[in-house]
Amino acid sequence: MRILPKAVLSIACGTALLLHTSCTWRPAPRNAQVVSPRKENIRQLDHAAPIEERPAAREITAPSHLTAEEFDRFRKEIQRFYLAPYLWGGASPAGTDCSGLVRTIYRRAADINLPHSTQQLFQVGDAVKPRELKFADLLFFRFKRGSAPDHVGLYIANRFFLHASVSQGVVLSRLTDSPYAENFVGAKRIMDGKNGR
């Protein structure tokens, strides 16, 4: 089982998602700065201190909209998938694409069946504003021409999200970084409230 590093979850989730492991993690290299209205809109919502200045995480607590059991199941699924290779059409830690990752995590962690299609996933759930994102919300991006999104990820916290990158496999990236900020098209919430869906 691949374990999601303590440093990543300390940075990404503060007190919410700290995992006990001694692994180290380095974020994917940042590309050149991109200035666009969409990136600026997201950037102004990111009030977290730089990674180097963030305090150490404290006690483990579940996000307020999930039960402790739900959170623990999500945490275990995120661990199972972290650093899994990319495989188009896949939906397991042996290989997965972006929608397969989201579908399997939700099925195993919350017993919710979602489509294995980014475009179909964009049709479910409730729209969420960037400033209101919560753990396990779905984030959608459009990298190709057309109106429909073609990439999806799972929001963690502090602008970090989990997704299956074609070049890197399942990794954490930051919503405010390029190329995600300028290609972000919206977010959807599948779960809201204790035991609520």
At residue 54 the predicted structure's pLDDT band, cuts being 50, 70 and 90, is very low
Among residues 20, 47, 116, 163, the one annotated as catalytic is: 163
Quick check: is 98 catalytic? yes
Catalytic residue among 13, 47, 65, 151: 151
DSSP code of residue 102: H
Give the pLDDT score at 65: 83
Q: What is the pLDDT of residues 74-111, one digit of tens each?
A: 999 999 999 999 999 999 999 999 999 999 999 999 99
> Over 70: is that where the pLDDT of 63 sits?
yes
Can 65 be counted among the known catalytic residues?
no
- Any idea of the CA torsion for 66, 49, 36, 180, to the nearest 10 degrees? -50
In the numeric block, which tokens belong to residue 76? 């275990």
Annotation marks residue 163 as catalytic: yes
State the first-to-last Cα distance of the chain, in angstroms, to the nearest integer. 29
Among 5, 4, 34, CA closest to 181: 34
Q: What are the structural domains, with CATH classification, of the chain?
A: 6-25+35-49+57-189 (3.90.1720.10)
The model scores a pTM over 0.75: no
